[in-house]
Amino acid sequence: MSKTPEVLFVCVHNAGRSQMAAALLQHYALGRVSVRSAGSEPADEVNPAAAEALAELGLDITAEIPTKLSYADVEASDVVITMGRGDTCPVFPGRRYLDWAL
| Predicted confidence (pLDDT) per residue in 11-40, tens digit | 989 999 999 999 999 999 999 999 999 998
Answer for the pair 77, 8: CB distance below 8 angstroms, yes or no.
Answer: yes
Q: How many residues are there in the chain?
A: 102
Q: Report if pTM > 0.85.
A: yes
| Predicted confidence (pLDDT) per residue in 50-81, tens digit | 999 999 999 999 999 999 999 999 999 999 99
Provide the CA 37 distance to its chain's centre, in angstroms: 3
